[in-house]
Amino acid sequence: MIKKIITTALVAGVLCTGLQARFIGMAVENPRIKSPAIHRHFQDHGIHSLVGIERVARKYPRLQSLDVSWNRISTVENGTFRRLTGLKMLRLGRNKITTIQAGAFEGLSKLETLGLVFNRLTKLSKGTFRGMPNLKVLMLTHNQLTEIPVEVLEELPQLERLDIIGNPIAQDPQQIAKIQEALPKVLIITTSKFPLSHEWPVEYGGTVSPVN
């Protein structure tokens, strides 16, 4: 364990330590691949922080899909993904996220799907989802949200689906009605016939609350 913490790695001329080395180590796991990677997976690697993720962007400038689920991340800091401008899908599910700082997703102008499932979010504030003008699917399955301020969702002009399965808000008709009234074109997914559905609710047979 101690060796893992103090290990340093020198990759592509960049010195990194601790958790940063995890991202770099995975990113160069197959040096025989000459074409830039489009999809990267860092599932279940004991990652506590997203510090160093920008180095993956330098290694793979064409990266479109990033999966950092099943780790131990608790905070998504401001500007974390600012260099990953080509991402279309980002999965942060099955972590321990309680805090998303304003501007955390700034720069993800091409992102279409964001997965934050099975985390510990209790509230969302204005600025949380700033910087994602093309986001279509927002997955908040199984968090602890009692409300989602309309102004938070209004930062996502292209939003088509909002999954709130397993959150207290999913059982609050007044909160759902408030969102529907403000964003009538958004499908709000509140229940699923699969109790452990957590990634893509429509594919898992999720149902949506009626919209006008």
CATH code, domain carrying 168: 3.80.10.10
The span from the CA of 53 to the CA of 26, in Å, is 11
Let me know if residue 17 belongs to a domain.
no
Let me know if residue 117 belongs to a domain.
yes
Let me know if residue 15 belongs to a domain.
no
pLDDT of residue 44: 65
Report the domain count for the chain: 1
Let me know if residue 75 belongs to a domain.
yes
Let me know if residue 8 belongs to a domain.
no
The span from the CA of 139 to the CA of 179, in Å, is 16
Let me know if residue 29 belongs to a domain.
no
pLDDT tens digits along 164-209: 999 999 999 999 999 999 999 999 999 976 544 344 443 333 334 4
The span from the CA of 154 to the CA of 144, in Å, is 21
pLDDT of residue 192: 79
Let me know if residue 195 belongs to a domain.
yes
Q: Is the pLDDT of residue 116 over 60?
A: yes
Per-residue tokens: 12: 């592509």
pTM above 0.75, yes or no: yes
Let me know if residue 2 belongs to a domain.
no
Owning domain of residue 107: 35-209
pLDDT of residue 193: 65
pLDDT tens digits along 5-48: 222 222 222 223 334 434 433 443 343 434 346 888 787 667 88
pLDDT tens digits along 57-102: 888 888 999 999 999 999 999 999 999 999 999 999 999 999 999 9
